[in-house]
Structure 1
Amino acid sequence: MSDNTNLGALAGSMGIEITDEGSALPPTFHMPVAGNTQPYGALHGGATAVLVETAGSVIANRCVRANHHAVGIEVSVSHHRPATAGSVHATVSVAHAGSQLIVCEVVVVDDLGKRVATGRLTCMVVADRH
């Protein structure tokens, strides 16, 4: 896995990493279940939302024009089954890439490839501050 320092402090503290960064393949984002659980031992829904927003933000920022960046304005996650061990893995597809809004769909699966959650991130495109 590659270095995750460019994903931000929160993602780093949750163990989120990215693979295939810079390759021709779409990147996959990974997060351990351990350390990100709710009191009953399953992956915390808020942790899944952080993974969705992190992954979606990275991909959305690949879609913006020069001197602009994408910032999340809405995130939603539907949880399908619990993850209790190992890691979860997120892949992102861009549903809409406009000049003002970018919408990403994020699929989160467990180590067996079973879907754990489906997320959506809407980002607003803003000009960089100088």
Structure 2
Amino acid sequence: MTILPPDLDPELVERLVGTGGGALTRKMGIEFLELSAERSVATMPVEGNTQVIGLLHGGAHVVLGESLGSISSAIHAGPGRYAVGIEINATHSRSITEGLVTGTCTALVLGRTLCTHEIVMTDEQGRRLSTVRMTNMLRDR
């Protein structure tokens, strides 16, 4: 069950619920646990998201990070506005071959036109796997 802020834009809620967060998010098994502009959390299984030698694909870390950063920015943008990613980077610190990854997204800047979030991916023991930083531009519809 995803925890959503009570004042969330109904159109955004409809899009999130109707698409499950988007086709790629569903394919990767990402499950949103908590969503807000300031802090969001989601999990993703390693299984099905590995590269050729069995490690979690670096791009999977980025997809989890971008999913959290984009939704958090869209929540901050509010009704009649939307977020578009303009920059993302990732540092991979530790590999993983099985289990569940948790992404925790924390706002660094929540401005009128830009949002920057840091998303930290950890394993089931709480060890940092990667750090993603994402900046979104906020636009009017």
Normalising by the residue count of structure 1, what TM-score does the alignment of the two structures yield?
0.88
Shift of residue 5, structure 1, vs aligned partner: 3.6
Q: Which residue of 2 aligns with 1:116?
A: 129
13-22 or 26-35, which moves further after superposition? 13-22
**1:88 matched residue in structure 2:** 101
Aligned position for 1:8: 22
Unaligned stretches of 5+ in structure 2? 3-16
Kept after mapping to 1: 8 A contact 2:120/2:131:
yes
1:68 to 81, 103, 109: 81
Q: Which residue of 1 aligns with 2:13?
A: none
**What's the C-alpha RMSD, in Å, of the aligned pairs?**
2.0
Q: Decide whether aligned partners of structure 1 residues 27 and 104 sit closer, same or farther in structure 2, where only a CA change above 3 A counts.
A: closer
In terms of mean alpha carbon deviation, does 57-66 or 115-124 score higher? 57-66
- Aligned with residue 46 of structure 1, among 47, 55, 59: 59
**For structure 1, which runs of at least 5 residues remain unmatched after alignment?**
none
User: What is the distance in 1 between the residues matched to 2:128 and 2:109?
Assistant: 22
| Pairing partner for 1:20 from 34, 50, 54 | 34
Aligned residues with identical type, % of pairs = 39
User: Structure 2 vs 1, CA of residues 21 and 64 (structure 1 numbering), >3 Å: closer, same or farther?
Assistant: closer
Would you identify which runs of 4 or more consecutive aligned residues in structure 1 move more than 2 Å?
Answer: 1-6
Deviates more, 1:30-39 or 1:61-70: 61-70
Is 1:79 matched up with 2:120? no
2:55 aligned counterpart, secondary structure: coil
Contact kept in structure 1, 2:32 and 2:42, CA below 8 Å: yes
Whole-angstrom distance in 2 between the partners of 1:29 and 1:52:
9
For 2:7, the equivalent position in structure 1 comes to: none
Count of residues paired in the alignment: 126
